[in-house]
Amino acid sequence: MSSSGDHARVLRKAERGTHQVHIVIFPGFKSMEAIGPINVFTYANRHLARLGDMRQYSLSVVAPYPGQIPSDTLISMQASEALPESAPLETVMVAGAVDIHAALTKETDLTDWCRRRAPDVERFAALCSGAFFLAEAGLLDGRRATTHWGVADLLRRQFPSVVVEADAIFIQDGNIWTSAGVTAAIDLALAYVEQDFGRNLALEVARDLVIYLKRPGGQSQFSRLLTSQMTGSVGMRDVQNWLHAHFEKPLKVSDMAAKANMSVRSFTRQFSRDLGTSPANYLEGIRCENAVSLLLDTDLPLKALAFQSGFGSDDVMRKVFLRRYCLTPLQYRERFKTASG
């Protein structure tokens, strides 16, 4: 988009006093991914009206054809119109589906519509597995994107030109946005409210919905301790529980293998097979989770926090945070502490 085009769009917004949002659904869409953002924008409108602010969100639910559209639950939604072909679009949010392969096969018109319309939209978002529509349309080639953790590997395999970041809550790359699993659509909608009307209004909406304004951490659906209870091997579960109890110590893979009474090679192979990650990466994740908790819930200095989390030094912790979160520990604390406090 050109800078002159951006300026003209901003002027049109100021004149209308509205932010236009189109929620795109289709048969079998995930209901939460449409209802969640609609609630966020509706609550934002209520707060704006209470403040005497005449601006608002103008919401439209659209689909490949108008009428009652069944979702993945007992809920159906009324699409007021078909996918708009010529009307200017400001913000578009495309829902995902539980069976995304079936949706891609059936909703080829939606994929084509995304390909045609997305380049001219200020914010074009794919929610959860909705990222597959954009990937199929070629809109994610060479871009960073996220999706539901359960289909992240599938997105990587099926569309290798997409830079998939599976643990992100949402990602912006140019005018294209993608969000993680289901409720992350709410996180993304709150980010839009903050972008459009400021942090205070977004925080009021988050308080109404009893959620974080900015969720700490990634989209990992289960803590590592809960994940350890889902693995098939009793021996591996014992090692994981032991790691959760001793992560602050200077542990090595050889220590873990000794705990399991296995050779390092055999232990590493079985652990990776059961957990889908290496022993060292798993331990690093535990330490990161503890560090995140301390960053948000305490005012401990970074050196003490790093020691209590098992990193050995704040410099080591800093390097790990930059690699995992693209933020330093101090930046992480500054960004998320207000919302979680």
Task: List pLDDT tens digits, range 125-140.
Answer: 999 999 999 999 999 9
Is residue 312 within 8 A of residue 250, CB to CB? The reply is yes
Nearest to 106, CA basis, from 203, 26, 10, 22:
26
DSSP letters, 252-279, are -HHHHHHHTTS-HHHHHHHHHHHHSS-H
Superfamily of structural domain 224-340: Homeodomain-like (1.10.10.60)
Topology, domain 3-209:
Rossmann fold (3.40.50)
Query: Quick one: pLDDT at residue 224?
Result: 54
Query: Quick one: pLDDT at residue 340?
Result: 37
Mean pLDDT of 166-182: 90
Local confidence band at 117 (pLDDT 50, 70, 90 cut-offs): very high
Write down the domain spans for the chain.
Answer: 3-209, 224-340
Mean pLDDT of 169-185: 92
Q: Provide the CB-side half-sphere exposure for 195 (13 A, CA).
A: 14
Local confidence band at 219 (pLDDT 50, 70, 90 cut-offs): low
Helix (H, G, I), strand (E, B) or coil at 205: helix
Local confidence band at 229 (pLDDT 50, 70, 90 cut-offs): low
